[in-house]
Amino acid sequence: MAEKRRINMSLNLNSALQRKAWEIIRQIPAGRRTNEICRMLCSYEDKCQENLLENIRRVIREELTEATVISDTIESKKTNEAVEPQSVSDDVLGFLRSLQEGDGIG
């Protein structure tokens, strides 16, 4: 026997948001509403995750844009010369640590 969960929802048609939701639900043919609502909720979650990842990418790009790369360092690596480690700001390290720890996101 399949396990099922039930949800009842009352919409207040005086609320513009809930009225709009009702209009969308009404347009879905009976018998397909549950699957369509589930699909919409899951695609919303996927979109939120994609927005989060895009924001992280944007922040990293901005940080990398401000970083300075010294061409001598690249040449030194090619000739096996010793390379001095470059310092990284505490803000960047803190940001990278928070990404590693996950901050409970996802």
Question: Where do we find the tokens 């061409």?
Answer: 71
Amino acid at 76: S
In angstroms, the CA 72 to CA 82 distance is 11
In angstroms, the CA 79 to CA 11 distance is 71
Question: Where do we find the tokens 């928070």?
Answer: 98
At residue 78, the 3 state secondary structure works out as: helix
> Which pTM does this prediction carry?
0.47
Mind listing the pLDDT tens digit of every residue in the chain (106 residues)?
Answer: 789 898 899 999 999 999 999 999 999 999 999 999 999 998 988 898 889 999 999 988 888 887 766 665 555 555 655 556 667 777 777 787 777 776 555 4
Element (H, E) at 50: helix 33-66
